[in-house]
A = this chain, B = another copy of it.
Amino acid sequence: MAGSEFQLIQSYFSEPEQVQRADLILGIGDDCAIVAPEEQTHLAFSIDTLISGVHFPHNTSADAVAYKSLAVNLSDLAAMGAEPAWFTLSLTLPGDDQWDPVFREQWLKQFSCSLFKLAGEHNIQLIGGDTTHGALSVTIQVCGYLEQGKGLKRSTAQTGDIIAVTGELGAAALGLDIILQKNSEQYSCLSDDDKQQAVNALNYPQARIKEGLYLKEAAHSAVDLSDGLLSDLGHILTASDVGAELQLETLPLANALSCLSKYQAWEKALTGGDDYELCFTLAKNDWLKVKQQFPHFAAIGHITAEKALCLVKADGQEYKINAKGYDHFG
């Protein structure tokens, strides 16, 4: 790493952080970081790479890139019912031929501010990293505590379980359309506030950590919605060797979808990615208790023994969907 670059990274990532965890023995600056895990706990690990132009549009602000990179990893912890503890960051930045030094410094400042702010909210500490030159990409690995035997897996849904989600669906996919100026004539009825809300849903997803910690006691299985409800619920069905029936009218559609037709809105909610809500299954008897605690959670269907994913309208008719799940890859 070039000298000035090294100092820049040092100054933005080694400064005293908001989070100072007691279980960290040695932080950034040696060959490895050292942590002292609490006794009799398990640890949950997840790693995700976000690449400019693939997982976020090239013109996304450094603030949003940082937020989203950490949030999508936190969301994986949430989907297991884990409590965030530490993370590492591998940052690949464009070379001097593409980014001038002033821009790079501004970018790093914004990026690190946003990253440490979100980390502070979840009490997760940056403990190490790597920096290289290349096409802009951010790889974060998170590690969190999990009570022994309490992890929310995908493989443990049971026939008869209620299927529910932690919040509204479809806003992030709408936000991506708006940024890419796709279908803009359709969205002419949206207010600027609605549009901004949709773009924020895409750029600043809320990791449902608190919800995951609660659900690890009540739910049978869970997954986070990164690739779209159909695709991600599909992972639960495959892993648990079951099927599902979804009641389309019960899908909690994001407000911003209101200018779309019912069918268009369903497609966004079913196949749009980047929602980062949790989709979980639980015994019917436990649903009322959960709903009292979190009134905005929505039941959207149930697990069936027959191994298919069936979408049903209020009139009892089955609804066929053409679109596939959200595809980041390529």
Instruction: Enumerate chain A interface residues (CB-CB to B < 8 A).
Output: 1-2, 5-6, 25-26, 29-37, 39-40, 42-49, 51, 54-55, 76-77, 79-80, 82, 86, 88-90, 92, 95-96, 127-135, 137, 139, 141, 143-144, 146, 148, 151, 153-155, 222-224, 239, 327-330
Contacts and interface: CB of A to CB of B under 8 A. Distances in A.
What is the count of identical protomers in the complex? 2
A224 B31 contact: yes
A26 B151 CA distance: 9
Contacts of A86: 45
Given A51-B132, A132-B51, A132-B328, A35 B30 contact: no
In the A-B complex, list the 9 residue pairs whose CB atoms are closest, starting with the nearest. A1-B329, A32-B44, A31-B79, A47-B88, A31-B76, A32-B46, A49-B90, A32-B80, A139-B139
B95 A223 contact: no
Given A47-B89, A48-B90, 18 more contacts: A6-B329, A29-B239, A31-B154, A31-B223, A32-B44, A32-B76, A33-B44, A36-B43, A37-B37, A47-B141, A48-B130, A51-B132, A54-B134, A88-B141, A90-B90, A90-B139, A92-B137, A132-B137
A118 to B, nearest CB: 18
Given A2-B329, A80-B34, A153 B47 contact: no
B34 A44 contact: yes
A101 to B, nearest CB: 12
B92 A51 contact: yes
Contacts of A130: 47-49, 139
A25 B47 contact: no
A105 to B, nearest CB: 15
A272 B4 CA distance: 21
Given A146-B34, A151-B26, A154-B30, A132 B46 contact: no
B90 A327 contact: no
A33 B54 contact: no
A329 B132 contact: yes
A90 B47 contact: yes
Contacts of A79: 31-32
B32 A329 contact: no
A147 to B, nearest CB: 11
Contacts of A47: 88-90, 128-130, 139, 141
A1 B128 contact: no
A16 to B, nearest CB: 17
Contacts of A51: 92, 132-134
13 contacts: A1-B328, A30-B239, A31-B77, A32-B76, A32-B144, A33-B46, A34-B44, A35-B45, A36-B148, A47-B89, A47-B130, A49-B139, A92-B137
